[in-house]
Amino acid sequence: MTIAQMNQLWIMRGYDNQATPSDGTNAMMIRDKGGIMQFAITEHRSGALMAEYDPSINRLWREIESCIHSVHDEDIIREFEDGTRSAKSISEAINKLLDIEFVERGWSPQSPIFADNTALETGKKGRWRLDFAKDDISVEVAFNHSGSIAWNLIKPTLAGELNHVTKAIQTKLGILITATEELKLAGGFDNAIGSYEDYVQYLTALRPILTVPLVIVGLRSPTTFRIEVEQITPNKKVGKVVPL
């Protein structure tokens, strides 16, 4: 199937094709549904094609779509305002809501990549773990510093490649969920956070290393509110919900 045919298929399913990058990845954006979490996607090594036509993968991809669409603006506002601490951005609220949705659908949270993590967990907690895994798909929700972009892309590749260390999971497709630049701006995110657009740029440079099909999902800004960041002390900023 050609990229043009793939674009047409996804447009029929409710996606707008935004661009076809020069490296052959394919970028698409979901239509405005009003209050429902919207997102853009870019595929790497035909990841979107696999999500559409591999029956076992398609079932899981539909679950991922459902998890994202189940997050509504009012849910984010409620979680943001009910938090135990005054937050600057909605990143923690979105993370928590997605965690609930994935776990409810039977996805394994904080799934280890390798069967024996004892010798590998001496460093930063979670270094050798993926946020979620189920059958043939691994998922990483990445709202962290841009310096972690390459590692976040490599982790699902490790989960999909054969390795001399015994694997705990063996997946066929990796999904990276992150924030678009517009969500960073509207959601009060720190400027240092790696964005969807940053991840897409990395795909070209890391193509020889990223041998496993990937889909990069960029969450778009809320349609009914934005976060206004206020400096309350010299060292502390907090966010406030402003209706649109």
Q: What is the mean pLDDT of the chain?
A: 83
pLDDT at 61: 97
Domain spans of the chain?
3-114+128-226
Higher-scoring residue by pLDDT: 19, 110: 110
How far apart CA 81 and CA 238 sit, in angstroms, is 11
The yes-or-no verdict on residue 42 having pLDDT over 90 is yes
Mean pLDDT, residues 76-82 taken together? 94
**Architecture category of domain 3-114+128-226 in CATH:** 3-Layer(aba) Sandwich (3.40)
pTM of the model: 0.83
